[in-house]
A and B are shown apart, each in its own frame.
Chain A
Amino acid sequence: MSQDHDHLHLPEHPDFLWRNPEPKSSYDAVIVGGGGHGLATAYFLAKNHGMTNIAVLEKGWLAGGNMARNTTIIRSNYLWDESAAIYEHALKLWEVLPEELEYDFLFSQRGVMNLAHTLGDVRESMRRVGANKLNGVDAEWLDPQQVKELCPILNVSDNIRYPVMGATYQPRAGIAKHDHVAWAFARKCDELGVDIIQNCEVTGFLKDGNRVVGVKTNRGTINTEKVGLAAAGHSSVLAEMAGFRLPIQSHPLQALVSELHEPVHPTVVMSNHVHVYVSQAHKGELVMGAGVDSYNGYGQRGSFHVIEEQMAAAVELFPIFARAHVLRTWGGIVDTTMDASPIVGTTPVENMFVNCGWGTGGFKGTPAAGLTFAHTIATGAPHKLNEPFSLERFETGALIDEHGAAAVAH
């Protein structure tokens, strides 16, 4: 069957944003994991440290793991100084990245509200607002009436099990289009000469004594001087291949979206106590997430009762959602630590570095993870922002306990 395409005048295929090169036999550095953090790391390695002979290896497709599965919330209202510093730096980067990457990924600073439902919540929230202000993070305390003014569809009446007693509010927080963030980083990486290699699964590491000298993949062996692991839920699997352990447990974390609706929800609402967080995407779907499934899992799916609980919380807070239909639910694998803070730093293996443990909150940290991890890989020493987030803290006891303190349970 012959076809004459000339008369069809089909539109040109859109330009690809990055090449799909074959892996070279050696690189100056290899990043394992082509999600947001891996791509951001490669970008800052190239831009800030002039390392352009580098590769990002992704076992599936680019940004198809947690970068495609999160609820896109960006905020920096963490309690402790170390967390506030790194997340606030991330937020400042989010504010300039659309221009720097020349890509509008719809970063929308519509604010984030963290609801308080108990007297304990109220005290913790006010304490966090104070701590945030001292750290230069924009934060304010809202009473229920102010909550209602900012988000009219929220039920702030007394007739629910856990009435809204107020909320913290960070006006500069918001959401962004996660896929577009990944594509923005990938395009810039590619322009700077970084090889992004998809469908390339790491199967082992080559070591000379205790020093990593190469990566074994399903597409051949790649020699390299430095390896950065940015594989989130699979970090433990890679660490085991390299011969060390991480204090990480991988759990399924689920989220869901409704069908498209008219704009009804002007901000982002998170509730630690009844445990749901909700925003409305630019297209109109309600995006909701909750806590992790309790058990360890690598299956990228969780149990339905977790979704049931989060929907119950959502409907109580937002009665208007009662008749909204769930369109899709999904799960990702999050890498949780015992103190709910990330690990960004060196490992027991020489020239191998790790960025993991971001757990349920990695998306917002993407730019700062990339910046500090790139610094650590390039110089062999931590940036001042990630110095407290070392693997050694579990030994020294200098934990950064953000359970609950981070404004939402992990």
Chain B
Amino acid sequence: MLLISCPNCGPRDETEFHYGGQAHVAYPEDPYALNDREWAEYLFYRDNTKGAYAERWVHSTGCRQWFNMLRDTVSYEIQAIYPMGTPAPGTSAQETNAQAPEGASK
């Protein structure tokens, strides 16, 4: 059971929250401009980082507000909690919002 510090309500049990997957995945600015590959990337491809991972959580049974969390996916240690719309701590806004190149190779 994770103990998650909601920015509004303070530390609460994980069971009060719901997971929202990877953070900082923006809806495409112009969905009609995307080809099938790019659309697949937006819909189905998410980072699956082993280590520090920026993800979204919502305090469903409390304030019902969304927030971001930086959590280690191996130790499960919560490293930072920060508001939606702000870059992950230790990264610049550009880095945080940088999408992996659409398509295969990095």
- A246 near B48 with CB under 8 A, answer yes
- B105 near A299 with CB under 8 A, answer no
Does A80 reach chain B (CB closer than 8 Å)? no
Interface residues of B in 17-61 (CB under 8 A from A): 18-19, 21, 36-37, 40-41, 43-46, 48-50, 53, 55
- B15 near A305 with CB under 8 A, answer yes
A234 to B49 CA separation, bound complex (whole angstroms):
10
Instruction: Number of B interface residues at 8 Å Cβ cutoff, please give it.
Output: 31
Does A396 reach chain B (CB closer than 8 Å)? yes
- B73 near A395 with CB under 8 A, answer no
Choice from A237, A244, A247 contacting B105 with Cβ under 8 Å:
A244
Could you list which residues of chain B lie within 8 angstroms of chain A, going by C-beta atoms? 1-2, 13-15, 18-19, 21, 36-37, 40-41, 43-46, 48-50, 53, 55, 71, 73-76, 100, 103-106
5 residue pairs, one from A and one from B, having the closest CB atoms: A348-B104, A236-B48, A294-B19, A247-B44, A395-B40
| 0/1 string, A270-313, CB within 8 A of B gives 1 | 00000000000000000000000011111100011100000000
Q: List 27 A-B contacts (CB under 8 A).
A: A234-B50, A236-B48, A237-B48, A243-B105, A244-B105, A245-B45, A247-B44, A249-B21, A249-B46, A249-B48, A250-B73, A295-B19, A295-B55, A296-B21, A296-B48, A296-B53, A296-B55, A296-B73, A297-B73, A299-B75, A299-B76, A305-B1, A305-B14, A394-B40, A395-B36, A396-B36, A397-B36
Interface residues of A in 221-277 (CB under 8 A from B): 234, 236-237, 240, 243-250
Closest chain B residue, CB of each to CB of A309: B15
Q: A236-B50, A248-B48, A296-B53 are in contact. List 4 more A-B contacts (CB 8 A).
A: A237-B50, A247-B45, A295-B55, A296-B49
Q: Is the interface of A mostly helix, strand, loop or mixed?
A: loop
Interface residues of A in 293-341 (CB under 8 A from B): 294-299, 303-305, 337-338
Residues of the A chain whose Cβ atoms lie less than 8 Å from the Cβ of B37? 395
A303 to B19 CA separation, bound complex (whole angstroms):
13
Residues of the A chain whose Cβ atoms lie less than 8 Å from the Cβ of B55? 295-296
Residues of the B chain whose Cβ atoms lie less than 8 Å from the Cβ of A337? 44
Interface residues of A in 148-177 (CB under 8 A from B): none
For chain A, the bracket of interface size reads 20 to 34
Closest chain B residue, CB of each to CB of A246: B48
Residues of the B chain whose Cβ atoms lie less than 8 Å from the Cβ of A244? 104-106
Closest chain A residue, CB of each to CB of B57: A295
A252 to B71 CA separation, bound complex (whole angstroms):
15
Closest chain B residue, CB of each to CB of A242: B105
Residues of the A chain whose Cβ atoms lie less than 8 Å from the Cβ of B105? 210, 243-244, 348
Choice from B14, B48, B75 contacting A250 with Cβ under 8 Å:
B48
Choice from A237, A240, A294, A394 contacting B18 with Cβ under 8 Å:
A294
A303 with B1, Cβ < 8 A, contacts A295-B19, A296-B73, A297-B76 known: yes
Residues of the A chain whose Cβ atoms lie less than 8 Å from the Cβ of B74? 297-299
- B73 near A394 with CB under 8 A, answer no
Closest chain B residue, CB of each to CB of A297: B73
- A295 near B71 with CB under 8 A, answer yes
A291 to B15 CA separation, bound complex (whole angstroms):
15
A304 with B19, Cβ < 8 A, contacts A250-B48, A295-B71, A395-B37 known: no
A245 to B21 CA separation, bound complex (whole angstroms):
17
A395 to B36 CA separation, bound complex (whole angstroms):
6
A395 to B18 CA separation, bound complex (whole angstroms):
28
Residues of the B chain whose Cβ atoms lie less than 8 Å from the Cβ of A297? 73-74, 76
Residues of the B chain whose Cβ atoms lie less than 8 Å from the Cβ of A246? 45, 48
Residues of the A chain whose Cβ atoms lie less than 8 Å from the Cβ of B46? 247, 249
Q: Shortest beta-carbon distance, A297 to chain B, in Å?
A: 5
A234 to B74 CA separation, bound complex (whole angstroms):
12
Residues of the A chain whose Cβ atoms lie less than 8 Å from the Cβ of B76? 295, 297, 299
